[in-house]
Structure 1
Amino acid sequence: MIHDVINTAPNALARIALYIEQDPKSVLTMSIADLAHDTATGPASIIRFCRRLGLSGFREFKIALSGDIERVTLIELAERAAPEDIDVAPGVAALSTALQSSIAASARGFDDLQITGLANRVRAARRVEVFGAGPSSVCADILAMRLIWLGFPAHSSGSATMSHALARRLGSSGLALGVSSLGHTEETRAFLAIARKTGAYTIAITTRADCPIAQTADEAVLFTSAGAWPQSGSAMHVPPVVLLSEYLCQYLQVREV
Structure 2
Amino acid sequence: MVAEYNGRAGAWLIATTELARVGKDLDLAQYDTFAQHFDTLNSEHRLFFSGQGRSGLAAQMVAMRFMHMGLPAHFVGEATAPSVRDGDTLVLVSGSGKTPVSLNFAEVAKSEGAKVLLVTHQDSSPLREVADAALVLPVAGSTQFGGTLFEESALIVLDSIVLDQMHRRGVPAETMAYNHTNFL
TM-score, normalised with respect to structure 2 = 0.74
Q: Larger Rg: 1 or 2?
A: 1
Task: Assess, with a 3 A threshold, how the Cα gap between structure 1 residues 93 and 111 changes in structure 2: closer, same or farther.
Answer: closer
CA apart distance, 1:105: 2.1
Mapping of residues 22-61 of structure 1, within 5 Å = none
Tell me if 1:105 matches 2:25. Answer: yes
The separation in 2 between residues aligned to 1:172 and 1:224, in whole angstroms, is 32
Aligned residue in 2 for 1:132:
51
Aligned 8 A contact 1:103 1:243 in 2: no
Determine the C-alpha separation between the residues in 2 that align with 1:252 and 1:95: 27
Structure 1 residue aligned with 2:101: 187
Kindly report which structure 2 residues correspond to 1:48-87, keeping only aligned pairs within 5 A, or say none.
Answer: 71=1
| Unaligned ranges ≥5, structure 1 | 1-70, 79-85
SS in 2 for 1:120: coil
Quote the residue 1:235 is aligned against: 148
The C-alpha deviation readout for 1:126-146, integer Å capped at 9, x for no partner, is 311100001111111121011
The SS at the match of 1:119 is coil
CA contact (8 A) 1:224 1:240 kept: no
Q: Which runs of 5+ in 2 are unaligned?
A: 170-184
Alpha-carbon separation, structure 2, partners of 1:87 and 1:229: 17
Q: Quick one: higher RCO (CA 8 Å, sep 6+), 1 or 2? A: 2
User: For residue 62 of structure 2, what is the amino acid of its counterpart?
Assistant: L
Root mean square deviation, CA, Å: 3.2
SS at match of 1:195: helix
Quick one: structure 1 residues 91 and 255, their matched pair in 2 at CA, closer, same or farther if it must change by over 3 Å? Answer: closer
* Pairs aligned (count): 167
* TM-score where L is the length of structure 1: 0.55
Contact 2:22 2:138 survives alignment (8 Å): yes
Select the residue among 66, 69, 72 that pairs with 1:150. 69
Q: Residue in 2 aligned with 1:8?
A: none
Q: Distance in 1 between matches of 2:152 and 2:9?
A: 21
**What displacement does 1:199 show?**
0.6
Instruction: Supply the distance in 2 between the matched residues of 1:219 and 1:149 (Cα, whole angstroms).
Output: 24
User: Matches of 1:145 and 1:134 in 2, distance apart?
Assistant: 17
Stretches of 4+ aligned residues off by more than 4 angstroms? 86-92, 107-110, 229-233
